[in-house]
Structure 1
Amino acid sequence: MDKILIVDDTPAVLQALSLLLEIHGYDVVTTTSPVEALQYANQLRVSLVIQDMNFTGDTTSGEEGKTLFYQLRELDPHLPVILITAWTDLEQAIELVKAGAVDYIAKPWDDQKLLNTIANLVALGKANQAKAKLLRQQSADDSTKSKASSVGLVYASAAMQRVVDMAVQVAKSDISVLITGANGSGKEKIAEVIQANSLIADKPFIKVNCGALPADLIEAELFGAEAGAYTGANKKRIGLFEAADGGTLFLDEIGNLPYSGQTKLLRVIQTGEFQRLGSVNTIKTNVRVISATNSNLLDAIASGHFREDLFYRLNVIELNVPPLSSRLDDIMPLVHHFLPNREISLSAENALKAHHWQGNVRELENSCKRVAVLKPTGVIEAIDFAFNQQMNIATPTRIAAQVNLISQTDGTSQANLASQTNTSKPATLEVSKEALEAAMRGEKGVIARVARQFGLSRQALYRRLDKYEIPY
């Protein structure tokens, strides 16, 4: 049932409009308070608002209604708002209609005209929703969608659909694919889509994080080792290429593979042959290689950190996964996937879409997990995601609206919330060149361990290594 919000300071008006609309099958919510009106619009997702222009006795300027109107428009730019008043101001009416008000009606109103206006607006809203849904369905072939969802990939954006379409298309071949994109954007899921839709979907699909391979054990990890080949090798070890024979080997973070490992990898990709560490016998293998990186490999080639010949072997087809900030249509489907059966307020939805999501889907998932623990029940608001504490949040006007709304509902002072909003970010950790060199030696060049030691992200560590010209 379509929900209509009526805001007026006169109880008799609320009663008359409620009776009129309820008789015609509408679900009506009423309030005399603009603050409550914002709360209802935020949490109940109403289809239409009918609002007065004055809410204080002896006030006829319409400024209160004007303020409420703009707050509603900021909350949801597509929400139809009908303005109704006993004190018609032509100049103000023209301004608000230009700003998006669908009608400006004088009291007393014409019942039939009002009902016709409401019916048309509700029907238009439904038509727009149906059209948007149809466009989403047309942008994604159902069979392609099902193939992607079978591996747990959740998306609704046209940008991600293009990536999935190409992934499904190249899946039937045996050529090498390089998947590029920022950390947490979904590169591994795209690799799974390729595998699931390939002719070898029932064959092994082995994943390896190249950044986590110990530099001195890369050869043993990739190609295996005979017993006694190195200290601690008490029995024969099967390598990743041998384990993936007939299937697919997914090399994640390929840009972090040391140069020596790149050379060995190039040979097996070129010839399909390798030898276990400590053996002279050649093993033939048939493995499809899919690799992924968040690094710019062309820059790595230019700086001498990545082999150009290996790059062209891996990059027969490149699939670039856009960052989440470029796929706004994916945000809410992902939120509902991570927070099933939970209500999300409009202010929270706006804040989620406004956030940059530097950590992409992984950051969004972690934020949703945090909310699920800290607020297990009730409507989820923007403040529940703690954007003001840990993220680069939305516009100052949205912050002010949230502070005002929260202060009215839970008694928190605006000054206190504003001080939280302006909390400065922690200082960036500076690490000396000597400390980095010692850590790289101690961890044998394993980037993940060094980054963890200093509490840095991989990208931050790489920037410092490049700054001090420390090889990795």
Structure 2
Amino acid sequence: MDTILVVDDNSSICSALTLMLDIHGYKALSCETPEQAIDIVTKQDISLVIQDMNFTRDTTSGEEGKQLFYTLRQQQPNLPIILMTAWTQLETAVELVKAGAADYMGKPWDDAKLLTSINNLLSIYHLSKQNSQLTRVDSERMSAINGADLCGMVFGSGAMQRCIDLSLQVAKSDVSVMITGPNGAGKDKIADIVQANSLLKDKPFVKVNIGALPMDLLEAELFGAEAGAFTGANKVRIGRFEAADGGTLFLDEIGNLPLSGQVKLLRVLQTGEFERLGSHQTRKVNVRVISATNADLADDISNGSFREDLFYRLNVIELAIAPLNQRVDDILPLAQHFVGNEFSFDKPAQQALLTHAWSGNVRELENVCKRAVLLASNAVLTLADLGLSPQTHQILNRQFNRNQDSNLSQGSNLSQEKQSTEEVGESLLSAQPADPDKQQIEQALVTHNGVIARVAKSLGLSRQALYRRMDKYGLSSK
């Protein structure tokens, strides 16, 4: 049974609406203040909200209602909200409908019209939830039908789906691929998917974390060394390129490779040739290189710590992974995967997972979930079990008390376009610059020769945000 929340400072209106809803088979709750509404939506499963626009005596501006509306939209972007007021203002109505309000009605209301709107909105709401839940299942099913191996990847966001689709598309080629994104976002998993679906899937797949190797041993690890080439080299060392001959070499944290190693790597990519340390014998290999970095290589090129010609050799195709807090639809599927089928999360815990900053991305989420399972007293995990920072615990309770200008500014961002869930997460967790138009993006692509990292930085966008806008305007990095 759907639960509908009525929010109105007039107890008579609350009683009238809840009675009508009860008669027509809905479970109805009511409250008289925005703070109570925030608390109820945070802790209970609400399918629809009917809210007043003014909650203080002799107030008719609608600002209180707008603030409540935007706060609820922040918490649950897809929750249907019907706005109701005796002081209907066309300008306010247009603004909030553009920002996602499901309907806007005046008082006194028409019962038949209101019930029709509720029925239609709930049908759309449940269909949207069902489609969202099926997105990952359907994509996995289609990938299985097409013979793709997703290597156990768990996701639910459109952003990750697009990244995986591109990964599968480039997997069959032999071009160099660069995977970009923050630490812990899943770059190694994307590399696994590229390899598992490539023509080299049965060939050697050698992984090297450049950031974890001592600088003085990097070149020996990559290219090998003869006995006596350096102190402690008592026997011939086979390098990773030789070990990966005929297959694929994954170079993680490529931005940490010193310039001397970059020169040799560039030569291998161009000719397939190299020499072991301490040897003059030229060796030749045939290796596909997949690299990954959390660094801004455009900056490194500018300050001279990374070769531009090597960047272009490595970055034939870029697979950009957004931070987890910009892929909100991935959070709960991942969390459920990490805790297993024996555990679940109550609603406050789910809200905390969705609003946490996740600076450590998927790796941090996995650690939090493992800790919660280890310390939990029962199968339903709570906010306390997660052990997140006090800031995360308090964020839902303080949302309504945020500065009103901040709320209205976020509402304006919402009204510019109907944002996807990952865009909502992005707008909540980071300040967004003015949205560039098509001409600005085209000019930036020309100025920076189509290098996505540079273009995104110049426009003040993440790579994923840039890709969304390029898709919107039909632009290509070429």
Could you say whether these structures have the same fold, taking a TM-score greater than 0.5 normalized by the shorter chain as the test? Answer: yes
Structure 1 residues 365 and 390, CA, compared in 2 at 3 Å: closer, same or farther? Answer: farther
Distance 1:379 1:333, change over 3 A: same
* SS of equivalent residue, structure 1 residue 267: helix
1:430-472 deviation line (CA, Å, top 9, x unaligned): xxxxxxxxxxxxxxxxxxxxxxxxxxxxxxxxxxxxxxxxxxx
CA distance in 2: counterparts of 1:339 and 1:72, whole angstroms: 33
Distance 1:62-1:30 versus aligned 2 partners, 3 A rule: farther
Instruction: Tell me if the contact between 1:348 and 1:383 (Cα under 8 Å) persists in the aligned partners.
Output: no
Partner of 1:386: 389
Give me the CA root mean square deviation: 4.9
Q: Secondary structure at the match of 2:345?
A: coil
* 8 A contact 2:376–2:385 mirrored in 1: no
Q: Paired residue for 1:318?
A: 318
**Deviations 1:8-58, CA, capped at 9 Å, x for gaps:** 9999999998897667654x3656786766444322222134679999xxx
Number of the residue aligned with 2:232:
232
Encode CA deviations 1:216-268: one digit per residue, 9 max, x unaligned.
Answer: 22232112234444333344332211221221111111121111222222333
SS at match of 2:291: strand
Q: Are 1:90 and 2:105 an aligned pair?
A: no
CA–CA separation in structure 2 for the residues paired with 1:68 and 1:297: 46
**Whole-Å separation in 2 of the counterparts to 1:395 and 1:262:** 51
Structure 1 contact 269–313 (Cα < 8 Å) conserved:
yes
102 and 366 in structure 1: CA distance in 2 versus 1, 3 angstrom threshold: farther
Distance in 2 (CA, whole Å) between partners of 1:69 and 1:383 is: 32
Secondary structure of the residue aligned to 1:203 is coil
Taking structure 1 as reference, are residues 147 and 381 closer, same or farther at Cα in structure 2, changes over 3 Å only? farther
Q: 1:289 and 2:292 equivalent?
A: no
1:310-459 mapped onto 2 (5 Å cutoff): 310-339=310-339, 341-343=343-345, 345=347, 349=351, 352-353=354-355, 357-369=358-370, 377-380=380-383, 385-386=388-389, 388=391, 397-398=399-400
Normalising by structure 1, what TM-score? 0.63
Q: Distance in 1 between matches of 2:333 and 2:285?
A: 41
Counterpart-to-counterpart distance in 2, 1:238 and 1:352 = 46
Match of 1:467 in 2: none
Q: Which has the higher contact order (CA 8 A, sep 6+)?
A: 2
Q: Comparing 327-336 with 159-168, which one deviates more in the overlay?
A: 327-336
Residue number in structure 2 paired with 1:143: 143
Structure 2: 5+ residue runs without aligned partners? 404-478
Q: Is the 8 A contact 1:179 1:187 kept in 2?
A: yes
Moved more, 149-158 or 203-212: 149-158
Partner of 1:74: 71
Q: How many Å apart are 1:311 and its aligned residue? A: 2.7
Q: For residues 346 and 399 of structure 1, do their structure 2 counterparts lie closer, same or farther at Cα, with a shift above 3 Å needed?
A: farther
Task: Return the offset for 1:297.
Answer: 2.9
Contact 1:250 1:291 in 2 (8 A): yes
Asked if 1 retains the 8 angstrom alpha-carbon contact of 2:248 and 2:287, the reply is yes
Q: Structure 1: any 5+ residue segments left out of the alignment? A: 402-472
Quote the residue 1:166 is aligned against: 166
Q: Structure 1 residues 105 and 308, CA, compared in 2 at 3 Å: closer, same or farther?
A: closer
**2:250 is aligned with 1:250:** yes
Contact 1:344 1:381 in 2 (8 A): no
**Number of the residue aligned with 2:437:** none
CA distance in 2, matches of 1:382, 1:293: 33
TM-score by length of 2: 0.62
Matched residues, number: 388
Structure 2 residue identity aligned to 1:388: Q
- Please give the alpha-carbon distance, in whole angstroms, between the structure 2 residues aligned to 1:278 and 1:290: 27
Structure with greater Cα Rg: 1
